[in-house]
Amino acid sequence: MEEIVGLREGSPRKPVPLQELWRPCPRIRRNIQGSLEWLKERLFRVGEDWYFLVALGVLMALISYAMNFAIGRVVRGSGIPEVKTILTGVILEDYLDIKNFGAKVVGLSCTLATGSTIFLGKLGPFVHLSVMIAAYLGRVRTKTVGEPENKTKEMELLAAGAAVGVATVFAAPISGVLFSIEVMSSHFSVWDYWRGFFAATCGAFMFHLLAVFNSEQETITSIYKTSFPVDIPFDLPEIFFFVALGAICGILSCGYNYCQRTSLFFLKANGFTSKLLATSKPLYSALAAVVLASITYPPGVGRFMASRLSMSEYLETLFDNNSWALMTKNSSPPWSAEPDPQNLWLEWCHPQMTVFGTLVFFLVMKFWMLILATTIPIPAGYFLPIFVYGAAIGRLFGEVLSLAFPEGIVAGGKVSPIMPGAYALAGAAAFSGAVTHTLSTALLAFEVSGQIVHALPVLMAVLAANAICQSYQPSFYDGTIIVKKLPYLPWIRGRKIGSHLVTVGHFMNCTLTTLAKDMPLEEVIKVVISTDVTQYPLVETTESQVLVGIVKRTHLVQSLHTDSASWAPGQQPCLQDILANGCPTQPVTLQLSTETSLHETHNLFELLNLQLLFVTSRGRAVGSVSWVELKKAISTLTNPPAPK
């Protein structure tokens, strides 16, 4: 039976079912339907795929966080600050547990799937993953060989794992080892040097080999290959410009590190954001992802910051030899509907804005957007974004020079053209090196580009940037350690603060609980119950207080439980009896004197990865020094209190 139809009032004689006509409020429903049709027409005018790309960024951020939330907090963030803390001898429970490996991989995959929308990399998580595997392989080796656990060998393997993590990201074994040394430790054993290079070389070689087998590369070559001229890559007057670029990167890196650390402190101090991060991390992650995705939306504001390019395409275009300002000086290239794979640099040239405007807008927007992205609790690396940001700074500087010297720089009768790509390479190395307080980024720039013709100017730019940033701001990773309140031993900077004049007797902890060999077990039990320290200094007698060894709390408690039933009624045993029955003790191989300087004490703690040392005076135990006392002494020395 055919359905009965009628005509809607005001419609262009389009038949509709009578059931539709008899529904209540037909005009209101028609207005709502018309508004929805108008909104759909406006929204999808540029193509509905872009909105799904925005949704993709938000969903990937949520999935990335959800994986972390299901496993634990250890897989969030970069991982480098925590690994740096572990390599100083601090034990972070479960942080290197292999069970977190899968969650870190899945979470990082989701983060990288967002592309340049969230503008994050993978260096930090890869270092964490590599150290995880190194710790697991170390435990397997110990069980296989059957030898007891060795803390020194474990640290050697973890240091090599950190080097492999950097090397496998950029396929750069030399700079990977040097970068991990600079970032992870203040002192590095030469014995670990070849181990790191060997493992990093194996990792980088396999990375290149997989790229060849997967037909991504014809042969083993650099990741971001450049083609700078080898004969005269730069002229002598350009050295001044490279140093000036390094100074600019140093100033901007100071501002970036300060703003990033301040924003993290604000999120923790502000009542609303701290509560949101404590109870609704998925909501915070979604809001941050929506903000970033909305701004990088290509048909919108994103078209003025080349948001259609990926992270690797950013570097490929910024390292371009040609001057975009000179190429577009007399004509503006048309804006294509899709990026041209052969001319990706055109993404930086929008008809409504010059090349300079696009680069400036990119730098201004990405400055705060990158800071916002670093606050999202997902696995992500923060080195590649600052490397790209530095490349954009150098590119802008190089484009300005190419416009100021369109014919190049004439020196000695020869003309040396300005290559903005070389300044982009120097800017990437200088800014990332200043932010992380490393010099190996110069070598990293050469390894990823495949050319070393600009070795001298790039290194001078990195030195200038580091000289400025290290004088005023802690590194990005040290700042994160401070914000997260991880165990942290600050450096003693400057020669005029008088660290050699301050002695241990001025800042040691004089409250020391000792165990004497002649101490009755009743008093020993009271001491164990009333304190929670991990080890006790063992002295010869209560009267002499001469330090003779160390007793671990766990060993002492175990011996007390084991031997308590063997004592006869009425017998009054002492600690010496417990020690004679097999309670293990450790010799005091290193101790401090009250006359030891703060500078020497600080060097000992950093070099040997110590947590606590006992202080003696003529053999008597008089106190102890831990990280707490050291940090307080350094803080008092560098920031003396105002006189009353």
Give the number of residues written for the chain. Answer: 644
Identify the CA nearest to 510 among candidates 615, 609, 644: 615
How confident is the model over 146-152, as a mean pLDDT?
A: 73
Among the listed residues 222, 153, 211, the one whose alpha carbon sits nearest the alpha carbon of residue 451: 222
Instruction: For residue 90, name the pLDDT band (cuts at 50, 70, 90).
Output: confident
What value does the mean pLDDT take over residues 227-235?
A: 67
| Residue-range domain boundaries for the chain | 46-224+234-496, 499-638
Residue that wins the pLDDT comparison between 343 and 23: 343
Nearest alpha-carbon partner for 399 in 381, 424, 380? 424
Question: How wide is the angle at C-alpha 206 spanned by C-alphas 77 and 200, nearest 5°?
Answer: 60
One-letter amino acid for residue 513 of the chain: T
pLDDT digits (tens, 9 = 90+) for 421-477: 889 999 999 999 999 999 989 988 888 888 788 888 999 999 999 999 998 888 898
Q: Quick one: pLDDT at residue 433?
A: 93
CB 551 within 8 Å of CB 592: no
Q: Please write the tens of the pLDDT for every residue from 597-640.
A: 888 888 888 888 788 899 998 889 999 998 888 888 888 887 77
Write a three-state SS string for 34-48.
HHHHHHHHHHHHHCC
Q: Is the pLDDT of residue 252 over 90?
A: yes
What is the average pLDDT across 347-367?
88
Placement of tokens 């997967």 in the chain = 214
46-224+234-496 has which CATH code? 1.10.3080.10
Which of 200, 142, 148 shows the shortest CA–CA distance to 175?
200
pLDDT at 592 over 80: yes
**All residues at 6 or more sequence positions from 561 whose CB lies less than 8 Å from its CB, including other chains:** none
Residue 3's pLDDT is 47
Q: What is the pLDDT of residue 328?
A: 79
CA distance 497 to 640: 10
pLDDT at 261: 92
Number of C-alpha atoms within 13 angstroms, CB side, residue 538? Answer: 20
pLDDT of the residue at 468: 94
Query: 70 falls in which pLDDT band (50, 70, 90)?
Result: very low
CA distance 173 to 166: 8
List pLDDT tens digits, range 528-562: 888 888 888 988 888 888 898 898 888 888 887 77
Higher pLDDT, 76 or 360: 360
Work out the percent of the chain whose per-residue pLDDT is above 90: 13
Determine whether domain 499-638 maps to CATH 3.10.580.10.
yes
- Higher pLDDT: 13 or 126? It is 126
Quote the pLDDT of residue 4: 46
| Distant-in-sequence, close-in-space partners of 157: CB < 8 Å, separation ≥ 6 | 134, 135, 137, 138, 195
Average pLDDT of the residues in 221-239: 70
Rounded Cα distance between 179 and 190, Å, is 15
pLDDT at position 163 over 70: yes
1 band by pLDDT with thresholds 50, 70 and 90: very low
Going by C-alpha positions, the residue among 425, 421, 434, 420 that lies closest to residue 470 is 434
Pseudo-torsion of CA 547, 551, 552, 556, nearest 10°? -150
Q: Are 82 and 135 in contact (CB under 8 A)?
A: no
Contact 621, 545 (CB under 8 A): yes
Give the residue with greater pLDDT, 491 vs 358: 358
3-class secondary-structure state, position 494:
coil
d(CA 339, CA 20): 47
DSSP per-residue letters across 121-162: BSHHHHHHHHHHHHHHHHHHHHHHHTPPP-HHHHHHHHHHHH
Contacts of 311 (CB under 8 A, 6+ apart): 115, 116, 119, 121, 384, 385, 388
Which amino acid appears at position 431 of this protein?
A: F
Question: What are the structure tokens assigned to 13, written together?
Answer: 């004689």
| Residues paired with residue 6 on neighbouring β-strands, in sequence order | 16
- Confidence label for 294 from pLDDT (cuts 50, 70 and 90): confident
Question: Residue 493: pLDDT band by 50, 70, 90 thresholds?
Answer: low
Q: What is the pLDDT of residue 31?
A: 73
Question: At a CB cut-off of 8 Å and minimum separation 6, what does 388 contact?
Answer: 311, 314, 315, 318, 428
Output the pLDDT for position 220: 58
Give the residue among 444, 392, 353, 421 at the shortest CA–CA distance from 252.
392
Nearest Cα neighbor of 497 from 636, 592, 641 is 636
Q: What per-residue confidence (pLDDT) applies to 566?
A: 64
- The DSSP 8-state label assigned to residue 503 in this structure reads B
Residue whose entry in the numeric block shows the structure tokens 């100033």: 251
Asked if residues 380 and 124 have their Cβ atoms less than 8 Å apart, the reply is yes
Mean pLDDT value of segment 340-367: 86
pLDDT at position 2 is: 44
Joined together, the tokens standing for residue 160 give 């090599």
Query: Average pLDDT for residues 338-348, to the nearest whole number?
Result: 80
173-184 and 193-213 are packed helices; what angle lies between their axes, rounded to 10 degrees?
130
Q: Answer whether residue 8 shows pLDDT above 60.
A: no
Distance (Å, rounded) from C-alpha 298 to C-alpha 307? 6
Which residue in 205, 169, 208, 166 sits closest to 184, CA to CA? 166
Mean pLDDT of 579-591: 85
Q: Is 60 exceeded by the pLDDT of residue 16?
A: no
Give the residue with greater pLDDT, 426 vs 566. 426
Give the strand pairing for 535-539 and 547-552: antiparallel
Residues 107, 65: Cα–Cα separation, whole Å = 7
Q: pLDDT digit string (tens) for 30-56?
A: 777 777 776 666 555 544 444 555 555
The rounded distance, in Å, linking the Cα atoms of 282 and 296 is 21
Q: How much is the mean pLDDT over the chain?
A: 79
Distance of CA 298 to the CA centre of its chain: 28
Q: 3-class DSSP state for residue 339?
A: coil
pLDDT attached to residue 7: 46
Q: What are phi and psi of 512, to 5 degrees?
A: -125, 125
**Would the pLDDT of 337 be above 80?**
no
- Cβ partners under 8 Å of residue 438, min gap 6: 178, 179, 182, 183, 432, 466
Instruction: Classify residue 147 by burial, with Cβ atoms within 10 Å: 0-12, 13-18, 19+.
Output: exposed
pLDDT in tens, 175-218: 888 888 888 776 777 777 777 777 777 777 777 677 666 665 55
Percent of the chain clearing pLDDT 70 (strictly above):
81
* Phi, psi (degrees; rounded to nearest 5) at 146: 85, 20
